[in-house]
Structure 1
């Protein structure tokens, strides 16, 4: 069986990054049980707390730590994403991170979000990305499963409400 390459890991990372900023695995014990996802539960300002892939690709399961070590900046975990009630997404990018996020072509002012059938749907022009959605009072979790060479990878992004 072929081992996924770093290029594939980078592609998954870019999927996470683009989806997350267009706009983990474990829950904090003080966060109540997940609610039925709704737009109201998503509305607000969030920061990325974790990004993971399971099983690990090339020994990497903590994608957030990998990306931040690679860039030598905590741009993803410090960017504030605001999911507005009108379905748009705003971002407050930390000083010194514009170049890192611009290089990845991450934030698009025309991005939209919506919650449909326990999924968060992100739309950027004609591109639509969906993630399974779990929400709690202080935590939101997006996940998706991709298959490559017969191996299913679960990718998860965990957000903390600020």
Structure 2
């Protein structure tokens, strides 16, 4: 009887220990950090921050937009849920604050778009064209960066601007 009891205890100990042993094994990533995978993008997100950087100057785009277009536009953008589906489609649930038809022009991801990743790049394609961003996902935060050239000060010289969009998983 005692051997039977000891055998059961050993079996239960193995059942409990196996997931811990396998869970402690991990593949080493030569690049450091967690690899970015399409599964990391899948799910629902809301815009939490936007910035435009030119040289050493950075502008909080949401604050600028609030001053130019009103707080309702910013609330619409930051409260709209954007879902990246596993079938590469993008769907959105607009915030109740979205009460104007032209508010969609400020949003970087439109409903009925598609998405795909390639390495650390994410491409968003809509009826208006395609944009490709560098992206990272860390925990519940996703960041997109894109560089553009624009003569923002009218001096005939195109300056490089970096737009950063930050999303929080919901």
Q: TM-score, normalised by structure 2?
A: 0.66
Deviations 1:82-133 (A, max 9, x none): 1111111111111130415556285654310011121011111471110001
Cα separation, 1, equivalents of 2:120 and 2:58:
28
Higher relative contact order (CA 8 A, sep 6+): 1
Q: Distance in 1 between matches of 2:77 and 2:128?
A: 25
Change in Cα spacing, 1:150 to 1:105, as seen in structure 2 (3 Å) is closer
Alignment coverage as a number of residue pairs: 128
Question: Judging changes above 3 Å, is the alpha-carbon distance between structure 1 residues 109 and 161 closer, same or farther for their aligned structure 2 residues?
Answer: closer
- Where does the alignment leave 5 or more consecutive residues of structure 2 unmatched? 1-31, 151-156
Measure the CA separation in 1 of the matches of 2:37 and 2:52.
Answer: 25
Give secondary structure in 2 for the equivalent of 1:53: strand
Misfit runs of 4+, over 6 Å: none
C-alpha RMSD over aligned residues: 2.5
Sort the Cα spacing of 1:64 and 1:126 in 2 relative to 1 into closer, same or farther, 3 A. closer
- Computing the radius of gyration over CA atoms, which structure comes out larger, 1 or 2? 2
**Does the Cα contact within 8 Å between 1:55 and 1:154 map onto a contact in 2?**
yes
Q: Is 2:90–2:114's contact at 8 Å kept on the other side of the alignment?
A: yes
